[in-house]
Amino acid sequence: MTRDINKARPGKSAQGAVISGNKILLNNAIDLTGGKSWSKAGYVVSHLFEEDIFTRFEAQTRTQLIRLWRESGLSVPNDFQLDQYHILASTQASHLAAVAKTKLISIANFPIPIKLMEDRIGELCNVPLMAKNPFDRQSVFHFRVVRPHSQDNNPLHRDVWLADYADCINLYIPVAGSNECSSLTLIPGSHHWPENKTTRTKEGAIIDGIQYNVPAVTEIREPYEIVRPNPGRNEVLVFSPYLIHGGAVNLNPAQTRISMELRLWKKN
């Protein structure tokens, strides 16, 4: 794990600040990290699939990304290296058009049968899981695409500050350009923090004129450490949505970081 405190620290926002009480949100939640060897940290990096399944997953993911980028208007050669996306999407307009195609993708279009992923992560959490949000009934996944030295990444936040993300488990699956300089950052143990340990924006943060969907942490009132767990090929980062994470600036000089984001809930 690599410390990355200076590159992902809380920052100023154009939104008003919120300081909540001493409630610990996780205490009233279904904690899918509970009782595990990694419950204190709130995350784990684990092997995903047998090689033949992962090779199929990898190939179908690549095919899907290239198709979606082409549908957004980008001209993508068949032999394109995915981590060079920033060369294709060289303007903010072309990037936003591509992002619109690579988020909120139906689980029906997941690169492999979703049951394989549900079963694998269910083994880690020791509970049957489903890729269907019980609150809004959505079954979707996303690609997160962060160009080098850009502001494409979300600020530090808890997912559960947004509606309908309670009780799930989060997956970060590296696709391309994800390494010790670019992978997701998080604060170990922060899922157990009371709300008054941080200050955050009221709504989606506006930072340096850029609007984000998530509220942003603007202050943390005790010492803390940010790490990049950095899963490799055929590995997954599994973490609590109550964990403070984000702020994952891509410090690669010439590689776009692409990852897959998926959430799973306890099956009824």
Domain ranges of the chain: 2-266
pLDDT in the model for residue 55: 98
Query: What φ, ψ does residue 206 adopt, rounded to 5°?
Result: -115, 110
pLDDT in the model for residue 153: 78
pLDDT tens, N- to C-terminus, the chain (268 residues) = 333 333 445 555 555 566 567 889 999 999 999 999 999 999 999 999 999 999 999 999 999 999 999 999 999 999 999 999 999 999 999 999 999 999 999 999 999 999 999 999 999 999 999 999 999 999 999 999 999 988 887 788 999 988 788 999 999 999 999 999 999 999 999 999 999 999 888 765 555 555 556 778 888 988 999 999 999 999 999 999 999 999 789 999 999 999 999 999 999 8
CB contact set of 147 (below 8 Å; sequence gap of 6+)? 85, 86, 89, 95, 250, 256
Q: Compute the half-sphere exposure of residue 149: CA atoms within 13 Å on the CB side of its CA.
A: 4
Amino acid at the residue 84: Q
Report pTM.
0.91
pLDDT in the model for residue 155: 84
pLDDT in the model for residue 203: 63
> What is the dotted CATH code of the domain comprising 2-266?
2.60.120.620
**Angle made by CA atoms 265, 232, 98, in degrees to the nearest 5:** 70
* Maximum CA extent, the chain: 53
pLDDT in the model for residue 212: 58
Amino acid at the residue 117: M
pLDDT in the model for residue 247: 79
Find out whether 176 and 260 touch, Cβ atoms under 8 Å: no
pLDDT in the model for residue 152: 85
pLDDT in the model for residue 113: 98
Find out whether 53 and 241 touch, Cβ atoms under 8 Å: no
Amino acid at the residue 232: G
pLDDT in the model for residue 218: 85
**Angle made by CA atoms 125, 248, 173, in degrees to the nearest 5:** 40
- Nearest CA to 138 out of 121, 122, 162, 158 is that of 162
